[in-house]
Amino acid sequence: MAGEHLAHAKSTWNGQALRRRILAAHGIELPDMLDEAGDVPVADVLDAAAVAWTARRYAGGEASSLAGVIWY
């Protein structure tokens, strides 16, 4: 999604801010407050948002599955 390795871990303030900006640039804007879900770890919310972006791209035919690809 970013097109490069991110320098800051998603568990850091800078890493979270960077990931929110990247998500927003791809049309996924996260609210500042999550109401009942506010106790969920931030990294989990960021991961879920990235998965939503990927699912939207796959459903729209913009991405394909890597099923069966062997990584070494």
pLDDT at residue number 52 = 92
Residue 34 pLDDT more than 90?
A: no
Considering just the CA atoms, what is the radius of gyration of the chain in Å?
14
pLDDT at residue number 1 = 87
Burial degree of 11 (CB within 10 A; 0-12, 13-18, 19+): exposed
- Is the pLDDT higher at 72 or at 32? 32
Residue 50 pLDDT more than 90?
A: yes
Q: 44: pLDDT confidence band, cut at 50, 70 and 90?
A: very high
User: For the residues 9-21, what does the mean pLDDT come to?
Assistant: 93
Could you tell me the residue ranges of all domains in the chain? 13-59
pLDDT at residue number 14 = 94
